[in-house]
């Protein structure tokens, strides 16, 4: 019988716990205490990776304490939790998360990354298309990447020009015509960061005017299927979700000239536990997980896996230089404020 994390006794030093899963809910620091592995995975790959992982640890007779959850349910809660880490013991031995979250912020880097608490265990040298995604400093392990592309509803486009790059979405012609991922005043950080990098704060303001709402990608797909004349003209959605659109003839999927925006699936591994937990980290970097990711249109950094992307596919990565130069946490908070102000002003 599976128990919740809050009910499980912790004897991590002896490594004698079976894997336990927690019901969906808040992720507090106390509930992470003693975790060998916390994985917040994107919805499209979570189920398949979890099943493969359970089979793997049973086959290898590995006993430890872990929590595998959907990133969609917990990313905002956990992102806030990261800010409250005081010591390295507050953090699970292996953490897998999605997006450019607070693990990339200056405070976390200053307190933990720069002090050498984590190290790369990656065995992969990615293909040329993805080689710039690998951390040159050997700390962050990128397992795979989520890709954001532009989807145009052809039945709603009318006389509007067909966009072919991210900058086109900033035109006044597309005011209130675009949806991106988001809720309340929290919008997709990789989209905002990329627009900021390419077009500055003014570009983020212009995007705020273009965006009519923040939706989950599944909602974007549902809107296209409805034949609604009130749905958005343009949706910025993960490439995975474009494959779930039932009436493909109604849409045009565009790989922008600047490249599909990359959102990384990142694994951090404590240096002190890297050898002890080598079998666990190896699982997430080898062929089986690579194949699972690619089947869900998450390009893997495993060079043995065929990415199966269209010829025109190219990528837009925010870059390690940007991450080193800026405090990602602070910049994302500021860009959300700039975007939200512009987003709300046009509707008043």
Residue 112's pLDDT is 96
d(CA 125, CA 134): 8
d(CA 167, CA 199): 8
CATH 3.40.190.10 in the chain: give the residue spans: 5-145+261-313, 147-260+333-345
pLDDT band at 164 (very low <50, low <70, confident <90, very high): very high
Q: Over the stretch 255-292, which tens digit does the pLDDT of each residue have?
A: 999 999 999 999 999 999 999 999 899 999 999 999 99
Give me 93's structure tokens.
Answer: 């031995």
Residue 123's pLDDT is 74
DSSP annotation string for 158-177: TTSPPP-SGGGGGSGGGTT-
Q: Is 130's pLDDT higher than 50? A: yes
Q: Is 157's pLDDT higher than 90? A: yes
Are 290 and 302 a contacting pair, CB within 8 Å?
yes
pLDDT band at 36 (very low <50, low <70, confident <90, very high): confident
3-class SS shares of the chain: helix, strand, coil, % to 5: 45, 20, 35
Residue 76: strand, helix, or coil: helix
Least confident of 149-163, 252-266, 299-313: 299-313
Query: Which segment, 17-31, 199-213, 304-318, is predicted with the most confidence on average?
Result: 199-213
Q: Is 9's pLDDT higher than 60? A: no
Residue 80's pLDDT is 77
Residue 14's pLDDT is 27
Residue 311's pLDDT is 84
Q: Is 150's pLDDT higher than 50? A: yes
Pairing of strands 251-254, 141-153: antiparallel
Q: Is 32's pLDDT higher than 60? A: no
Classify domain 147-260+333-345 at the CATH superfamily level. Answer: Periplasmic binding protein-like II (3.40.190.10)
Of the chain, the percentage scoring pLDDT greater than 90 comes to: 67
Residue 229's pLDDT is 72
Q: Over the stretch 44-58, which tens digit does the pLDDT of each residue have?
A: 999 999 999 999 989
Average pLDDT score, the chain: 86
Phi, psi torsion values for 164, nearest 5 degrees: -130, 5
d(CA 347, CA 232): 16
Residue 200: strand, helix, or coil: helix
Mean pLDDT of 25-51: 74
Classify domain 5-145+261-313 at the CATH superfamily level. Answer: Periplasmic binding protein-like II (3.40.190.10)
Query: Which segment, 47-61, 119-133, 193-207, 300-314, is predicted with the most confidence on average?
Result: 193-207
Q: Is 12's pLDDT higher than 50? A: no
Q: Is 27's pLDDT higher than 50? A: no
Residue 161's pLDDT is 97
């Amino acid at each position: 019988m599976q128990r919740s994390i809050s009910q499980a006794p912790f004897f991590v030093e002896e490594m004698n716990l079976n894997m336990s899963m927690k019901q969906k809910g808040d992720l507090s620091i106390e509930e992470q205490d003693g975790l060998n592995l916390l994985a917040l995975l994107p919805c499209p790959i979570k189920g398949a990776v979890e099943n493969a992982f359970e089979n793997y640890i049973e086959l290898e007779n590995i006993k430890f304490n872990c929590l595998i959850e959907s990133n969609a349910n917990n990313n905002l809660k956990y992102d806030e939790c990261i800010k409250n880490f005081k010591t390295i013991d507050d953090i699970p031995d292996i953490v897998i998360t999605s997006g450019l979250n607070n693990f990339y912020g200056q405070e976390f880097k200053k307190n933990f990354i720069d002090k050498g608490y984590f190290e790369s265990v990656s065995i992969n040298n990615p293909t040329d298309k993805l080689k710039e995604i690998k951390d040159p400093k050997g700390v962050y392990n990128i397992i795979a990447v989520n890709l954001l592309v532009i989807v145009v509803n052809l039945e709603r486009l009318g006389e509007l020009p067909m966009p072919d790059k991210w900058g086109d979405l900033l035109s006044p012609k597309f005011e209130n015509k675009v949806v991106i991922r988001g809720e309340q005043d929290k919008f997709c950080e990789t989209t905002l960061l990329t627009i900021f990098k390419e077009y500055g704060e003014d570009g983020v303001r212009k995007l705020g005017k273009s965006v009519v709402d923040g939706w989950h990608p599944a909602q974007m797909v549902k809107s296209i299927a409805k034949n609604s004349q009130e749905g958005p003209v343009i949706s910025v959605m993960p490439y995975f979700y474009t494959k779930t659109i039932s009436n493909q003839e109604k849409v045009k999927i565009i790989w922008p000239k600047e490249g599909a925006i990359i959102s990384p699936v990142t694994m951090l591994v404590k240096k002190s536990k890297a050898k002890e937990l080598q079998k666990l980290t190896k699982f997430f970097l080898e062929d089986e997980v690579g194949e699972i990711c690619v089947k869900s249109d998450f390009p893997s950094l495993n060079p043995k896996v065929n990415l199966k992307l269209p010829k025109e596919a190219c990528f837009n990565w925010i870059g390690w230089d940007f991450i080193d130069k800026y405090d990602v946490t602070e910049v994302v908070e500021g860009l959300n404020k700039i975007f939200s102000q512009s987003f709300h002003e046009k509707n008043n």
